[in-house]
Amino acid sequence: MRFLSLPIVCVCLPLIIIQASPTESTSFLFNGFHAKNISLSGIAEVDGRLVRLTNTSSRLFGRAFYPYPIRIKDASTNAVSSFSSIFVFCITPLLAPTLGGHGMAFVMSPSLDSTGIFPSQYLGMLNASDNGNSSNHVFAVEFDTVQDLEFEDINDNHVGINLNSMFSTNSTAAGYWSPSQNASQNASKTPINLKSGDVIQAWIDYDGHRQQLNVSIATIDQTRPQIPLLSVKLNLSEVLKENTYVGFSGSTGVIAGTHRVLSWSFNSNGVAKSLDLSKLPSVVRKVPTVATIQFKVLVSIAVVVSFLILTSLVGLLLYKRSQREIVESWELEFGLHRYSYKDLVLATRKFHEKELLGVGGFGRVYRGVLPKSGFEIAVKRLSRESDQGEREFIAEMASTGRLRHRNLVQLLGWSRRKGELLLVYDYMQNGSLDKLLFGKPSTVLRWEQRRKVVKGIAAGMLYLHEGWEQQILHRDIKASNVLLDADMNAKLGDFGLARLYEHGQNPHTTRVVGTLGYLAPEFARTGKATTATDVYSFGALLLEVVTGRRPIEHRGGNAEDFLLVEGVWELYTNGRLLEAVDKKLDGLFNVEEVEKVLILGLLCSHPDPLARPAMRQVVQILSNEAPLPPLPPYHVNLSSQRPHTDDKEFRSYSSSSAKSWSTLDASTHLSAR
């Protein structure tokens, strides 16, 4: 039986050399790992002889550290010793070689404790609250495979040096330098794709006297590059504590990948021993160790049985595919996680009314609990009129799904069945902002919380406008699109959707997207969305957050609708601005701040688009880094602002229509739909 001689990898005992010299230096060499030799946390595991930091499950981290603290700094001289490390790692993406996440790092940290550590862009190293804090005493060399603009990453395939922070002090595209063979030529850099699944060797050397750190990488078939990839002047005395733990961390995000460490050598004071590459554990192995006759028989039976099972599975799959979830080849290109329709049906209890979180312009949103992980999600069931343009739709979802910012609701994945499209998002415990502002909310947001919401949304919008390769207009900024997580952090939802609907499949029906009361007058006129129209809606949102009133209130009968922007303008002109503040705050607010936000709201919602600030300026004003510019007078050219359509929805801005603020009773406000 020929197929019995399966590639059973030689399983040698891990070769470990531990030395403890009298000068307290630590040196070790793992040509393969054993669970007893390494301290694991998160989902890290010793798999065979290698350490697997993560698997392909989303948004988890894994850490593997040498279990004992290492003396790295001399307490009396405050000098960090010259340490060095060599290791071999391998990053295998879940999908195509271009899509993997999030990356891994070589880490020195004062603690083995991993509580509070974040996955995704934090690489299992730090979290959002301790990021950048000099009391972390964390030094890392990151091998990052996702470009996080939040941390100013240069690309999605780089090596960086991180001191207490996810922002790299120095980083460079992954690769290695080859010296010139020829004096008239410069050295050349050959790129390395970190997430290609290739086995990669890395060298990290720190010279404590010259305070220089060198980092090099090369694929396993190459020798050590003569010119380091990164060579940086660095005083680690300021960062590291006397004793440190050393090891690796890795994490997955929405896009996942497996991060493995195959072998590792370290010397806390001197040159690390070279690895024995002939003893490297094999990455693709899953074969048990005892090769007995019975085992071989078992294997052959298993092979036959699995072949049979596979064939029937494939048959069943093909049948099922033809039945419902049709996966087209192009869908796989986008790399966004595709959930099984069945799981989502189970998660939402068959889209039970009790799980309904809200109904938006694009469909109904349900809460769900994923069957296996127990992870809470929000599922948006899109109402779509036709299957046309679906490819573009999913492509757009996938590209916006790669946007990552703490003030954007994270798209986790999607699912499709027949004409139905489901989008899966992070679940936001505190629901949407409108529910906490208008009418009789269950909890009244305090001023500090409102200020945090406003700053968060401004940061999220700045990211959409300026932080991504291409500018993204939100087009539907409004309180019901602002969601609050368990800690009342504000996140913008529904970005990217509006554009798709606007450029609907049918070019003859330009469906104007946006919500009444948030629409800039020039948008109503021309139908053209710009960053300035987004800023206008943001201005309306600012006013809502301070006043606790909707941007437009229908008063029934023949009474003219109340427009919040106009109402606040009127108060401002009459020097009664503070009367606009939400009575529910009970006067508990900082007057200066409130005035600033109100005037900023008026500035952003100025009828003249040129008078409105850019989001960057808004963010600076809100964080007191820039002064509030003077508010230009409220000039409206009535004829030009009136929409061309006879659509009654678009009200013109007539200066006489503003009703006195006090005539309104907050409890009788009707919602604007």
Ligand X SMILES: *[C@@H]1O[C@H](CO)[C@@H](O)[C@H](O)[C@H]1NC(C)=O
Which residues carry out catalysis? 476
Alpha carbon distances (Å) from 505 to 326, 382, 383, 497, 500: 21, 15, 14, 13, 9
The size of the interface with ligand X (CB under 6 A), counted in residues, is 34
241 is in an annotated binding site: no
* Residues 394, 397, 402, 404, Cα dihedral to 10°: -170
402, 255 contact by CB (below 8 A)? yes
Q: Which of 116, 288, 629, 632 binds ligand X (CB under 6 A)?
A: 116
Least Å from the CB of residue 439 to ligand X: 32
Q: What is the DSSP string of 60-90?
A: -EEEEE-SS-EE-B-TTT-PBP--EEEEEEE
Three-state SS at 105 = strand
Quickly tell me which residue has 């000068």 as its tokens: 23
Q: Which of 6, 15, 18, 154 binds ligand X (CB under 6 A)?
A: 18
- Which residue type is seen at 497? L
Q: Which stretch binds ligand X (CB under 6 A): 209-217, 297-305, 494-502, 513-521?
A: 209-217
Question: What gap in Å lies between CA 304 and CA 374, rounded to an integer?
Answer: 35
Q: Which stretch binds ligand X (CB under 6 A): 203-211, 285-293, 393-401, 647-655?
A: 203-211
Q: Which of 184, 292, 509, 667 binds ligand X (CB under 6 A)?
A: 184
**Mask: binding to ligand X, 218-247, rule CB under 6 A, as x and -?**
---------xx--xx--x-xx---------
Q: Write the DSSP symbol of residue 353.
A: G
Question: What gap in Å lies between CA 147 and CA 463, rounded to an integer?
Answer: 13
Residue whose CB is less far from ligand X, 232 or 345: 232
67, 38 contact by CB (below 8 A)? yes
Q: Which of 144, 205, 396, 534 binds ligand X (CB under 6 A)?
A: 205
Burial string for 106-139 (b: 16+ CB within 10 Å, else e) reads: bbbbbebebeebbbbbbbbbbeeebbeeeebbbb
Residue whose CB is less far from ligand X, 10 or 293: 10
Residue whose CB is less far from ligand X, 258 or 605: 258
Q: Which of 31, 55, 58, 121 binds ligand X (CB under 6 A)?
A: 55
User: Does residue 39 touch ligand X according to CB under 6 A?
Assistant: no
Closest chain position to ligand X (CB): 116
User: Does residue 667 touch ligand X according to CB under 6 A?
Assistant: no
**Mask: binding to ligand X, 640-659, rule CB under 6 A, as x and -?**
--------------------
Alpha carbon distances (Å) from 55 to 50, 123, 219, 315, 375: 13, 14, 22, 28, 17
User: Does residue 36 touch ligand X according to CB under 6 A?
Assistant: yes
Least Å from the CB of residue 105 to ligand X: 15
Across the strands, what pairs with 186?
Answer: none
User: Does residue 186 touch ligand X according to CB under 6 A?
Assistant: yes
Least Å from the CB of residue 164 to ligand X: 9
Residue whose CB is less far from ligand X, 57 or 243: 57
Task: Determine how β-strand 16-20 pairs with β-strand 45-47.
Answer: unpaired
Q: Write the DSSP symbol of residue 373.
A: T
User: Does residue 56 touch ligand X according to CB under 6 A?
Assistant: yes
Residue whose CB is less far from ligand X, 56 or 652: 56
**Mask: binding to ligand X, 122-161, rule CB under 6 A, as x and -?**
-----x-xx--x-x--------------------------
Helix segments in 477-590, DSSP class H = 497-502, 521-526, 531-547, 564-573
Task: State the binding site.
Answer: 380
Residues at the site binding ligand X, with contacts judged by CB under 6 A: 16, 18, 34, 36-37, 43, 55-57, 78, 116, 127, 129-130, 133, 135, 169-170, 182, 184-186, 205, 207, 211-212, 214, 227-228, 231-232, 235, 237-238
List residues forming the annotated binding site for ATP.
380
